[in-house]
Every structure is written in structure tokens, then in C-alpha cells.
Amino acid sequence: MRERTAELSRTFSVYLPVSLYEKLLDRAGKGKLNTFIREVLEKELSESEEKLVNEYRECYANPRMIKEAKQ
């Protein structure tokens, strides 16, 4: 049984080449494509955000970068 969440959702269409769609189906399994894509997107966005935070911290840990940023 699926667990329902109270989070609002939006539906959108994405056009994919048939070859990519078939790869997604093979990887996710029939009937599980929505969950697979959502999890992949959440992971990618989380990793991207984490990378930006780390780069920001590195920048402000470097005195030369702080000096350049103030100019």
C-alpha cells in the first residue's frame, strides 16, 4: 500500500527520446517511473545545493577571495 503525503504536487510533461524512456523503464520498473524520477531529481538538487554551499564556504575561508569579492 502506498503512503500518501500531504505535500502539494504539480504535473508536467517531459518529452524524451524513446531510447532514454526505455532505459528509465528498465531501471525503475514498470509502474515505478514517477517515484524513480522524483528520487533522482531530489538527489541531484540536494547534491547541487550542497556543492554550492561548500564552494561558498571555501571562498570565504580564503582571504584573497574575500579581498577580490570586496573590490
Domain locations in the chain?
Answer: 18-70
- CA–CA distance from 17 to each of 22, 41, 46 (Å)? 9, 18, 26
Q: Are 55 and 61 spatial neighbours (Cβ–Cβ below 8 Å)?
A: no
Alpha carbon 29 to its chain centroid, in Å, reads 20
Q: Give the tens place of pLDDT for each residue, 26-39.
A: 999 989 999 999 99
DSSP 25-36: HHHH-TT-HHHH
Tell me the pTM: 0.62
- Tell me: pLDDT of 59 over 90: no
